[in-house]
Chain A
Amino acid sequence: MSAVGHAPVNNAHDDHGHHHKETFITKYIFSMDHKMIAKQYLFTALIMGIIGITMSIFFRMQLAWPEESFKVFEIFLGKWAPGGVMSQEVYLALVTIHGTIMVFFVLTQGLSGTFSNLLIPLQIGARDMASGFMNMLSYWLFFISCIIMLGSLFVESGPASAGWTIYPPLSALPQAIGGSGLGMTLWLVSMAIFIASSLLGSLNYIVTVLNLRTKGLSMTRLPLTIWALFVTAIIGVVSFPVLLSAALMLIMDRSFGTSFFLSDIYLKGEVLHYQGGSPILFEHLFWFLGHPEVYIVILPAMGIASEILATNARKPIFGYRAMIASILAIAFLSTIVWGHHMFVSGMNPFLGSVFTFTTLLIAIPSAVKAFNWITTIWKGNLQMNPSMLFSIGFVSTFITGGLTGIILGDSTLDINVHDTYFVVAHFHLVMGISALYGMFAGIYHWFPKMFGRMMNKNLGFVHFWITIIGAYGIFFPMHFVGMAGLPRRYYNFTSFPYFDDLADINVLITVFTIITAAVQLVFLYNFIASIFYGKKAPQNPWKSNSLEWTTPVEPIHGNWPGALPTVYRWPYDYSKTNENGEYVIPGQDFVPQNVPLQENEEELGHGNVVGNP
């Protein structure tokens, strides 16, 4: 298969060895080089992340110390915090935009955008993406959508405030909440552009993985990062257009008087003309994307963690084919479980039964993955680099957060924890924190590839330990707040006395939030300082097998100075020994993918089915 795919590509890119003159603009701004675009995604996502996390500090402060006056609110929120006291309107706006930014702009594009662009060509042995221009377009559309989303923060009537799920009618009617005016319009426009960007990117990733693999690199010899990013792109192509159609219909309901989602509404003393629509239809459309979206976020993190765990454990990933199968199973199931967000939405209870069934099924491939990761580090020789720590942390939070999914995915149990802090704790651990760990792991691991320098490991250790302690400190106690029946998206819990005894837990959570957010500054310092002053990186600092480490330290256009490398083996030949107990290459516990099979060496049964040269 790959033998067919790679041939024309070599010809097409032969001239890449010669540099054509590049100006500052073509090199750093309107770049078509996948490595530069990856960095652009990363920087944009980091900036969005800083904004999103700052917002969460603000509303956590309001929750811990309700209606107290803070100078910082006065500075940042202005008229929305008269006298430094956060207003109800801006509380909801912060919650909404925090969710939107973190899910879409940080975790989707920060992970998928950054690492697909960086790793796909480098790990499959390609000169660049299939279409460099489309790739550039994808980034710049993403950039525009970021600008529009941030611009919506400065709208007179406030940014979107109907929750990141923007359920109509609340999101459709400016009379119902101020944020549903211009703020919501900008939110929808921004997301529509975001979706276009995501589609352009995803199509490019799919085509590149299918067609541009180098000689000998069959699908069953791909690193798991590529498998994960490839499948993520497919899920994106399948589900994002559905969100676009939901957004378009919502735009029509808002601006052109249609009634897709609205019916029988009496607001502010008058009956509105809407008739015959259903808000539940919107919920279906939204979650048809919304649920696959959490896998779009988590699959790249899974791929990154798999790769880093194997490399640093100096062991092959356990159950390579089972890992691929579970990625595919998760991807398939992810598109038929959306209804578990809607058990108590008023849809037919029979549908609830079906979705309970499919939802709990998805626990099976997830469990297989978790067991395989644990087995991967068993009897390894673990190199505790910061990226490795974050990968282990990823497995830990993925298990902790994933297990409570068994409760939420059960329609019966969901009745009483639905929309409480139990849900907030669950999804922050399983997709928020886990995906962030995946992202940090990826940044620490591939930083030398991106910038040719090393990040400081000691700062990395400090960053990791405080982050993991803090993150559990935030989200583990939060489960209990949910079990006490406290609904989410409440501006305060003190309007009636029943929840007064939860106040100390809320203070605890907020203190952990501030500590955890503060330690991210250490990461930022390390990241920025290392770009300029970091130690020069060796070519293959982590002694890894995959192809990206065969390129020169200083990135060049076209990636490899000479011919493209040929692949002879899967990427996980770590600590492989001959019958006499010696390493395959004496004195070296890893065998890069471009090293031919040695004398007497047997290719152990994983990737030799298709395309074995």
Chain B
Amino acid sequence: MTVFLIIIVVALFAITVWQLSKIYQLSRDTNTIDSTQVATDKDNKTQGNLMLAFGIAFYIFMLYNFWNFGNRALPAASSEHGADYDNLMLISMVLIMFVQVITQGLLHYFAFKYKGRKGQKALFFADNDKLEFVWTIIPVIVLSGLIIYGLFTWSDIMDIEDEEDPIVIELYAKQFSWHARYAGEDNVLGKANVRFIEGANTLGVDVSDSYAHDDKVTGEIHLPVGRPVIFKMRSQDVLHSAYFPHFRAQMNVVPGMITQFGFTPTQTTDEIRETEYMVDKIDQIGEIRRERSEELMAAGEEPLSDYTEFDYYLLCNKICGVAHYNMQMKVVVETEEEFNAWIAEQQEFIDTIESEDTQNPADSGNVEGEEVAQVEN
């Protein structure tokens, strides 16, 4: 591939030099008026043929892209609404590729077919109401279908009030880490505001609010499979965006207000690891990393860590500062029992505060924050 590209670069450079010398020769006699820089029949022929060649090459290139890169797109969705999302995406993709193939084909074919020749007469064809009606009305119908399908899906996704028995989790964003706060036994989050931030209370939870006492602050998200979850999002500094690519979920996190997004995970971490897609992907990445590690070791540097297990993740997807690219959190989807066992181990908020009061370790919150930002490589 690289060799091929280098050859192209060299060839293009050679053409350039050749053309530059040509223009230099041509440009010596500059004061006679002539039309040699207007396309001749010969130019029309060459360029028209090139148009056809390009049209064909463009088809091949598109196929090559779908063939080679298409399999690296995200795997099938791991959430309930994600299935609808994928379906709508597929329909839209097929539709736009259909239009793309037809219109690009016509454009480049016409450019080839009707290339100028001396004596050829163009058709004086200025207007045709019927044709224009047809290609106004077709997009109208097709787009109406898409709009209606899209809007129904959208309101299903966004209308999270009527979810049955959801887990409520607060997603808390700051430069450059995420935290989660589970609502605890009562499933109601305690009040919070940045003005309450102090010591171990890094999320600014209102200690005097009794709903807050059983809240649990964690550095990972665990979700039981098949149960709706509602994320209430808060940021303490700038805009962030909570992006769960595998769940087809995203919402900006806005300082000064609470935004929300809900979904129901349908596939546990263990299950997705066993899918063919993920096994292949991990193999492929493993191979790439091994090669890279060998190069690094040959250069006397440390090799990369192994990547053997896939985990869901949450990414920041709104520019939020210098370490924006490295602001993420692990997401685990597991069975109800596993989840219950995990959540039982987490410390309740009131205990965190009280233990701080007795031991008073300075800035324990910041240390935790550092750890999350420094994800092992």
Q: Spell out A's residues near B (CB within 8 Å).
A: 88-89, 92, 162-163, 167-170, 173, 176-177, 262-267, 271, 276-280, 313-322, 344-346, 349, 352-353, 356-357, 360-361, 363-364, 367-368, 370-372, 374-375, 377-385, 388-389, 392, 395-396, 399-400, 403-404, 406-407, 410-413, 415-416, 418-420, 453-459, 461-462, 465-466, 468-469, 472-473, 476-477, 479-481, 483-485, 487, 489-498, 500-505, 507-508, 511, 515, 518-519, 522, 525-526, 529, 533-538, 541-542, 572, 574-577, 589, 604-606
* Across-interface contacts of B249 in A (CB, < 8 A): 415-416
B320: chain A residues within 8 A (beta carbon): 170
Least distance between B211 CB and chain A CB atoms (Å)? 19
Surface stretch bound by A, among B92-100, B264-272, B352-360: B92-100
Pick the residue among A176, A396, A469, A500 that contacts B307 (CB under 8 A): A500
Q: Would you call B256 and A170 a contact (CB within 8 A)? A: no
Query: In the complex, are the beta carbons of A371 and B125 less than 8 A apart?
Result: no
**Given A403-B99, A412-B157: A383 in contact with B39 (beta carbons within 8 A):** yes
A466 touches B32 (CB 8 A): no
B85 touches A415 (CB 8 A): yes
Interchain CB contact under 8 A, B241 and A177:
no
Interfacial residues of chain B within 245-265, with CB under 8 A of chain A in the complex: 245-246, 248-252, 254-257, 259
Residues of B with C-beta under 8 A to A411: 150-151, 154
CB neighbours (8 Å) of B92 from chain A are 406-407, 410, 413
Query: Contact between B127 and A318 (Cβ–Cβ < 8 Å)?
Result: yes
Residues of B within 8 A of A466 (CB): 12
CB distance from B135 to the nearest CB of A (A): 5
Question: When A353-B151, A412-B153, A538-B35 are in contact, do A476 and B126 touch as well, CB less than 8 Å?
Answer: no
Q: Are B255 and A263 in contact (CB under 8 A)?
A: yes
- Residues of A near B15 (CB, < 8 A) are 462
B114 to chain A, nearest CB (A): 5
Q: How far is it, in angstroms, between the C-alpha of A279 and the C-alpha of B252 when the chains are bound? A: 11
Determine whether the beta carbon of B100 is less than 8 Å from that of A384: no
Asked if A356 contacts B114 (CB within 8 A), the reply is no
- Cβ-defined contact, B245 with A381, below 8 A: no
**Is the pair B122, A496 in contact by a Cβ cutoff of 8 Å?**
no
CB distance from B106 to the nearest CB of A (A): 5
User: Can you offer 20 A-B residue contacts whose CB atoms are under 8 A?
Assistant: A169-B238, A267-B236, A271-B195, A279-B239, A279-B254, A346-B252, A356-B147, A363-B139, A383-B38, A383-B39, A384-B39, A413-B150, A415-B249, A457-B43, A461-B47, A485-B315, A487-B315, A489-B319, A501-B281, A522-B16
Interface membership of B175, Cβ < 8 A? yes
* Residues on A with beta carbons closer than 8 Å to the beta carbon of B289: 497, 500
Q: Give the chain A neighbours of B318 by CB distance below 8 A.
A: 167, 419
Instruction: List 20 extra interface pairs beyond A176-B237, A379-B125, CB under 8 A.
Output: A92-B322, A176-B238, A278-B257, A346-B251, A374-B106, A384-B47, A384-B116, A396-B108, A399-B107, A403-B96, A410-B150, A415-B250, A418-B317, A459-B23, A461-B47, A462-B19, A483-B72, A485-B245, A487-B315, A491-B324
CB distance from B49 to the nearest CB of A (A): 10
- CB of B107 within 8 A of CB of A505, answer no
Residues of chain A contacted by B307 (CB below 8 angstroms)? 497-498, 500
Q: Is the CB of A476 within 8 A of B65?
A: yes
| Chain B contact residue count (CB 8 A cutoff) | 139
Using Cβ atoms and an 8 Å threshold, which residues of chain A touch B321?
Answer: 170, 176-177
B89 within 8 A of A: yes
Neighbour of A491 across the interface among B30, B131, B154, B325, CB < 8 A: B325
A457 near B39: Cβ-Cβ < 8 Å? yes
* Nearest chain B residue, comparing its CB with the CB of A493: B325
B63 to chain A, nearest CB (A): 11
Checking A349, A384, A453 against B158 with a beta-carbon cut-off of 8 angstroms, the contacting residue is A349
Q: Which of A353, A458, A538, A606 contacts B19 (CB 8 A)?
A: A458
Given A416-B245, A490-B324, the answer on whether A345 and B27 have CB atoms closer than 8 Å is no
Write out the residue numbers on chain B whose beta carbons fall within 8 Å of the beta carbon of A407: 89, 92-93, 96
| A177→B322 contact, CB < 8 A | yes
In B47-99, the 8 Å CB interface with A consists of: 47-48, 50-51, 54, 57-58, 61-62, 65, 69-70, 72-74, 84-85, 88-89, 92-93, 95-96, 99
Task: Give CA–CA (A403, B99) in the complex, Å.
Answer: 8
Chain B 111-146 against A: per-residue CB contact (8 Å), 1 yes, 0 no? 100111100111111111001100110011001001
